[in-house]
Structure 1
Amino acid sequence: MLLKTFGWSFAVTALGLAFAGVLWGWQGLAIVGILSILEISLSFDNAVINAGILRKMNAFWQKIFLTIGILIAVFGMRLVFPVAIVSITAKLGPIEAVNLAIHDQAKYEELVTGAHPSIAAFGGIFLLMIFLDFIFEERDYKWLAWIERPLARIGKLDTLSIIIALVVLLVTAMTVATDVSHGGGDKSVTVLLSGVAGLLTYLVVGGISGFFEAKLEEDVDEVDEEGEGAAAPAKKNGTGAAVGLAGKAAFFMFLYLEVIDASFSFDGVIGAFAITNDIFMMALGLGIGAMYIRSLTVFLVRRGTLDEYVYLEHGAHYAIGALGLILLITIKYEINEVITGLIGLVLIALSFWSSVLKIRRDSKSESGSGTKPEVPSGV
């Protein structure tokens, strides 16, 4: 299963590193390798979040995520997106922006860095909304119960997450965005507009995907009530959980996944400039890392890891909340990517260990009562 899931990632790594070695020598090979590791370390929590969404889709859409999705992730976000940002912010044509990226890499890096406040505001608010909606939802399992229980109670107010995100955005615009060190001057208006755009994107894409998902579930329930379960568009897995979203629901879920990936890639793309300003090295290195995140996502889905280790998804969402806030802080202050990556890894590691302890406690209690231990069915 490991080779089947990670086979393409291994192949792309081998070909990518060989290509880098031939084209740029040992130095280029080392840079591409470092960028790959950077992307993986920064985006492990992305894989956990993706897995929570991807497990709702059928096999066809999971394959789409691994094929078309990876093309969007590598070429769209790691190559085209930085060039598009330069083209828009510097008011250059696409061809001029590409020429600038190839022939004047220092100027290109300067323009991308100057666009960081708007990128960080968009991505920061989008990721913050993912975290807030998760933490305010009533869940069967609570990792940090002393925090999550009261937040779930006040989270019954539907618009609370939007209100908090807007307050955070307003505070950011009035504080860190008033005197931006990179990009120069007051970026309050830019940050406000970009943050609102990030919020609207989350509400539109997430709202549409949620609508079609709910509609599909209603259709499945109606079919089951009529005794035609075999014709239901969603099948059942081994645990009895409904899976296999298809059609419009899966399509908008796919779009939602791609926007999440884009938000996660912002810090990786910006951080990559600390290593190189060659857009082709950057795209290749980050693209290899993105392949592993895709494969890891599918691995988590197929192994049912999130169903077994029930706090893992909690840790990933806390990491997302931290990343969202970090992105907003980086509008003015520089934070090393190593710190960002470590925060995410530590939170996920702690949630994984908490899940292991829970499994052991449940096993002992059920063994003591003479019943057969059961694996938790999920969040």
Structure 2
Amino acid sequence: MVLRTFGWSFAVTVVGLAAAFMLWGWEGFAVVAILSILEISLSFDNAVVNASVLAKMNEFWQKIFLTIGILIAVFGMRLVFPLLIVGVTAKMGPIETIDLAMNNQDEYERLVTAAHPAIAAFGGVFLLMIFLDFVFEEREHKWLAWLERPLAKLGKLDMLSVLVALGVLLIIATTYGSEALVGDHDTADKTATVLISGLLGLITYLIVGGLSDYFEDKLEDDDDDDEDGEEGEAREKPQRGANGKVVGLAGKAAFFLFLYLEVLDASFSFDGVIGAFAITNDIFEMALGLGIGAMYVRSLTVYLVRKGTLDDYVYLEHGAHYAIGALAVILLITIGQHMNEVITGLIGVILIAAAFGSSVLRNKRIGHEPGKNGDSAQEEVEAKV
């Protein structure tokens, strides 16, 4: 199972580190290895959340996520995205931007860093919405019951997560935004930029998340109607898990879930790309190191789906979402204050480790053996991937 799931990641690691050594020597080898570890540590919670979404997709869309999705993650977000940011903010053409990144790396780093307030506001608000929608929703399993029960009751108020996110954005924009960091020691008034970027992050979440939820609900409604009709047996129905929720989603529902995953990955990659400049400003070293890490995040996502880990360790998803909430807050704070990347990575690891430990204790308390109560419908989908 491990070799089958992580095989491509192992192969990419060997090839990538060998290429780093041949191109840049031992120093380049070390830089790429460190960047890979940095990406994995910062994105472990991303893998857990990805797994909860990927488990809903059918075989075709799971493969799309693992093929096209990884190309977007590695080349799009880790290589093209920083170039795009520099090109837009500095009003430069693609060729000029690439030339700058290759031949004037210090200036390239300065321009990417100057764009950090906009990047952090967009990604911070997007991730904050994911966290808020999770904690405001009534759930069967509660990890921190003393906190989650009252929040679930508050969540019955319509659009509460949007109002909270807007309130947080307004506070950040009027405090940190007025003296936003645009360099190691330089600040500038980016209040308008932070507000606009944060609103774009909120709108992106509402559009992509809303459309995926709409088509998923529509698929469920169509399935229920078919069960009452004469043609119900003749049409292909979505599979359902033991909890009654649809799995094996296809068509528009799966497409928008795929978009949601890619935007989620982009939001997680922001801090990794910015943090990588503390190690190197070579775009190719950065893309190679972060790309290797992204491969492991994808492989871990698949591993969690195939093993049914989120069903066996029910608090893992909670820990991942709390880590997302922490990352969202950190991203928004970094608009006006420096934050060590080690802190960012450790917070996520600690929260997920605590959630895993709580899940193990729960399993012992109720006598649950992981892997014994698998979802047969989901297992059938996963076995094909």
Matches within 5 A, 1:189-228: 189-226=192-229, 228=232
TM-score (norm 2): 0.93
1:186-229 C-alpha deviation (Å, 9 max, x unpaired): 11010000000000000011111111111111122222334745
The answer to whether the aligner puts 1:55 opposite 2:55 as a matched pair is: yes
Residue of structure 2 equivalent to 1:369:
none
Residue of structure 1 equivalent to 2:122:
122
Matches within 5 A, 1:75-154: 75-154=75-154
SS at match of 1:92: coil
Residue of structure 1 equivalent to 2:344:
340
Runs of 4+ in 1 over 6 A off after TM superposition: none
Letter aligned with residue 220 of structure 1: D
The answer to whether the aligner puts 1:321 opposite 2:325 as a matched pair is: yes
In structure 2, C-alpha distance between the alignment counterparts of 1:374 and 1:60, rounded to whole Å: 27
SS at match of 1:268: helix
In structure 2, C-alpha distance between the alignment counterparts of 1:236 and 1:210, rounded to whole Å: 16
Residue of structure 1 equivalent to 2:290:
286
| Contact 1:54 1:301 (8 Å CA) reproduced | yes
| Contact 2:180 2:189 (8 Å CA) reproduced | yes
| Contact 1:233 1:246 (8 Å CA) reproduced | no
1:220-265 C-alpha deviation (Å, 9 max, x unpaired): 2222334745743312568876310001110010000000000000
Q: Please list every run of 5 or more consecutive structure 2 residues that lacks an aligned counterpart in the other structure.
A: 376-385
Q: CA deviation at 1:37?
A: 0.3
Residue of structure 2 equivalent to 1:308:
312
The answer to whether the aligner puts 1:251 opposite 2:255 as a matched pair is: yes
The answer to whether the aligner puts 1:46 opposite 2:46 as a matched pair is: yes
In structure 1, C-alpha distance between the alignment counterparts of 2:241 and 2:234, rounded to whole Å: 14
SS at match of 1:61: helix
Which of residues 239, 253, 275 is equivalent to 1:235? 239
Letter aligned with residue 268 of structure 1: G
1:35-76 C-alpha deviation (Å, 9 max, x unpaired): 000000000000000001000001111111010000000110
The answer to whether the aligner puts 1:296 opposite 2:300 as a matched pair is: yes
Q: CA deviation at 1:2?
A: 1.2
| Contact 2:9 2:296 (8 Å CA) reproduced | yes
In structure 2, C-alpha distance between the alignment counterparts of 1:196 and 1:294, rounded to whole Å: 29
In structure 1, C-alpha distance between the alignment counterparts of 2:274 and 2:217, rounded to whole Å: 37
In structure 1, C-alpha distance between the alignment counterparts of 2:327 and 2:245, rounded to whole Å: 31
RMSD of equivalent CA atoms? 1.8
TM-score (norm 1): 0.94
Inter-CA distance 229–343: structure 2 relative to 1 (3 Å threshold): farther
Residue of structure 2 equivalent to 1:350:
354
SS at match of 2:139: coil
1:320-375 C-alpha deviation (Å, 9 max, x unpaired): 000000000001111111100000000000011111111111118x9xxxxxx974
In structure 2, C-alpha distance between the alignment counterparts of 1:374 and 1:40, rounded to whole Å: 29
Residue of structure 2 equivalent to 1:275:
279
Matches within 5 A, 1:353-372: 353-363=357-367
Inter-CA distance 59–193: structure 2 relative to 1 (3 Å threshold): same
Q: Please list every run of 5 or more consecutive structure 1 residues that lacks an aligned counterpart in the other structure.
A: 367-372
Letter aligned with residue 243 of structure 1: V
Letter aligned with residue 59 of structure 1: E
SS at match of 2:195: helix
